[in-house]
Structure 1
Amino acid sequence: MKNSTVVFLSTKRNVAICFLAALFVTGCAKINDISTNLDAENFKEYFSPTKVKIVDSEKDLVGKYKLLGLVEGESCQEKAHHAAPNEIDARTEARGKAYKLGANAIIFSQCVMIDDDKAAKYCLASTVCYGRAYQVEQIK
């Protein structure tokens, strides 16, 4: 019993020493050279889809409006263990593209699921949503 207690205490002491050594080494490391992608432009692009409202039909567009173009968004499942493609991600990508055109509204015409037989070479499956991007004076 005494030998197993000594071995246990010795092992516990070794772990504690290793932990403290690692903490000491990382505590003294120079961390001034951190590079991030945080800047105002990235935030504008990250939240841009939220500035494009999804509208059901042209009847909901009030006042002057202008069709800026057609956009599409894709949600891709690249590997079998990745999440399945979905309409939410595809619509969000399309809204981001509409924002880049200067739109503040989008009308989706359809979303289609493409299985592995028809998907692009890099996707096992994908969902693609198609829409029309509008610049609208007022939205209901």
Structure 2
Amino acid sequence: MRAYILLTPLLLAGCSQYSFNSNVDKENFDQYFKPSQVTVYDKSQLESLNYIHLMTVEGSACQQQANEAKPTLADARTQARLAAADAGANGIIFTRCIETSDDICLAASLCYGQAIKVAEPNE
């Protein structure tokens, strides 16, 4: 038991030099969570809201090589939400999402939507 008590501080001291590395870029931390600041609305939800149309946005995901992951519509929607956030929107109405391919992309997912600014209830 005494040996355990004597070795514990040594073990803890050995861990004090531990460093943590992350793939999250400190300068772009806000960019990672920007799409979550844009709420996805259905047209029927907007009837009772005060909002303005800002612009049309699109998002895309592309698989250029066979060994890459297949793009999903969720990836394309996330890119469209990012574009809406960059335009100053806090909401988006998706008008169309498609899966396709072309000369550049073996598979592609595309989403189009309307970036909107929804007023807060007390505004």
Q: Which letter maps to 1:91?
A: R
Q: TM-score, normalization: structure 2?
A: 0.72
Q: Which letter maps to 1:69?
A: M
CA distance in 1, matches of 2:51, 2:95: 18
Question: What does residue 98 of structure 1 align with?
Answer: 84
Q: 1:111 aligns with which of 97, 100, 109?
A: 97
Q: Secondary structure at the match of 2:66?
A: coil
Question: What does residue 104 of structure 2 align with?
Answer: 122
TM-fit CA distance, 1:84: 0.9
Q: How does 1:71-82 map to 2 (within 5 A)?
A: 71-82=57-68
TM-fit CA distance, 1:46: 1.2
Q: Which letter maps to 1:136?
A: V
Q: Deviations over 1:103-140 (max 9, x none)?
A: 0110001111112xxx2x4311101000000000148x
Question: What does residue 45 of structure 2 align with?
Answer: 60
Q: Which letter maps to 2:26?
A: L
Q: Which letter maps to 1:56?
A: D
CA distance in 1, matches of 2:68, 2:110: 17
TM-fit CA distance, 1:85: 1.3
Segments ≥4 residues shifted beyond 6 Å: none
Q: Which letter maps to 1:65?
A: Y
CA distance in 2, matches of 1:79, 1:125: 9
User: How many residues get paired?
Assistant: 97
Q: Secondary structure at the match of 2:69?
A: coil
Q: TM-score, normalization: structure 1?
A: 0.64
Q: Secondary structure at the match of 1:88?
A: helix
Bigger radius of gyration among the two: 1
1:38 and 2:20 equivalent? no
Structure 1 unaligned residues grouped into runs of 5+:
1-35
The percentage of counterpart residues that share the same residue type is: 41
